Amino acid sequence: MTTTNTGRSDGDSWDLASSVGATATAVAAARAIASQGPDPLLNDPYAEPLVRAVGVDSFVKLIDDELPVPDDDPALSRSRMREQMTVRTKFFDDFFTNAAASGIRQAVILASGLDTRAYRLDWPAGTVVFEVDQPEVIAFKSQTLTALGAKPTADRRTVGIDLRDDWPAALRAAGFDPGKPTAWIAEGLLIYLPPEAQDRLFDNITALSAPGSRLATEEMDLSALPDDWAEKLAERSRRLGTGINLAELFYHGERASAAAYLRGQGWQATVLKGADAFAANGFEQPDDELRTFGADSGYLSATLEG
């Protein structure tokens, strides 16, 4: 199977080999690579079989180290890919672990894709983990993991719905309790939303959150990037052979800072800059404008004040 990549449109849909869905498979492939070898940086035993089940040739070859890496672009090296995905994955893993340690027993993974945290994290008893994504994506992952014999380590509840639809109502229908503090993650999601949809997402999260709820996502400072940054990033993906044209998938236009917007909604928000996140894992952030997404970009965590 090969990836298919067309520009975004209102009401568009996808599976895990097309459009935005293919990026979820690419991320899972990177997690699989970081989980390989005698000294793995991550431990995601489900990433590789999920990617193989999707069946996109380029991602399978990426896992098997059969794609040529351009010699003149060190940011595309396999070791850099492993490090970058480790930094990202551990930030969100630790976010959930710390939220659970504080007593939060309700978690929501927005645009869950091939996320396997409901299966691989050590959740406290009584924790409910909601996964929200396109129905086809949810169904494929659930069926594949069941066939692998994987069992959730929490009460996993799936919500098959497009985030452009009334997902708060669907979440409630699945048993979500807005009266309880919730840990939310929106990993790798914001840039695929129109700016106004990003604001609406945060509005909905805030409306559903009891005091003490937590949220983790990325903080993107795009102001320092060149005007053609998306095209340059897409060219890198093409050179690596993934077939993904990110320039057609990202929504452009000025958007609010996630941290500033959430603060305006009553959240206490902090941003861990990318360089500091790399350093915390013992790595050095690549000196590359496209990989860092601007000097002030990083990982955001927020807590809703009472």
User: Could you tell me the CA-to-CA distances from 279 to 70, 188, 272 in Å, in that order?
Assistant: 26, 21, 11
Write down the pLDDT at residue 285. Answer: 85
Q: Name 157's bridge partners.
A: 130
**Alpha carbon distance 185, 196 (integer Å):** 19
Write down the pLDDT at residue 4. Answer: 43
Write down the pLDDT at residue 67. Answer: 78
Q: What is the pLDDT along the chain (306 residues), one digit of tens a residue?
A: 544 444 445 555 545 655 556 778 889 999 999 999 999 999 999 999 999 999 988 889 989 998 776 655 656 678 888 999 999 999 999 999 999 999 999 999 999 999 999 999 999 999 999 999 999 999 999 999 999 999 999 999 999 999 989 999 999 999 999 999 999 999 999 988 888 999 999 999 999 999 999 999 999 876 666 677 667 777 776 776 666 665 666 666 778 899 999 999 999 999 999 999 999 999 988 776 555 455 568 999 999 997
Name residue 305's amino acid.
Answer: E
Contact indicator for 25, 17 with CB cutoff of 8 Å: yes
- pTM for this predicted structure: 0.89
**Alpha carbon distance 116, 42 (integer Å):** 12
Write down the pLDDT at residue 248. Answer: 64
Contact indicator for 285, 228 with CB cutoff of 8 Å: no
Write down the pLDDT at residue 29. Answer: 93
Write down the pLDDT at residue 135. Answer: 94
Helix axes 78-101, 19-34, angle to 10 degrees: 90
User: Could you tell me the CA-to-CA distances from 261 to 213, 256, 257, 298 in Å, in that order?
Assistant: 16, 6, 6, 16
Choose among 245, 242, 225: nearest CA to 234. Answer: 245
**Alpha carbon distance 54, 103 (integer Å):** 36
Buried b (16+ CB within 10 A) or exposed e, 48-83: bbbbbbbebebbbebbeeebebeeeeebbeeebbbb
Half-sphere exposure of 94 (CA within 13 A, CB side): 13
Write down the pLDDT at residue 63. Answer: 93
Buried b (16+ CB within 10 A) or exposed e, 269-286: bebbbbbebbeeeebebb
φ/ψ of residue 57, rounded to 5: -55, -45
Structural domains for the chain:
19-304 (3.40.50.150)
User: Could you tell me the CA-to-CA distances from 252 to 97, 193, 194 in Å, in that order?
Assistant: 33, 9, 7
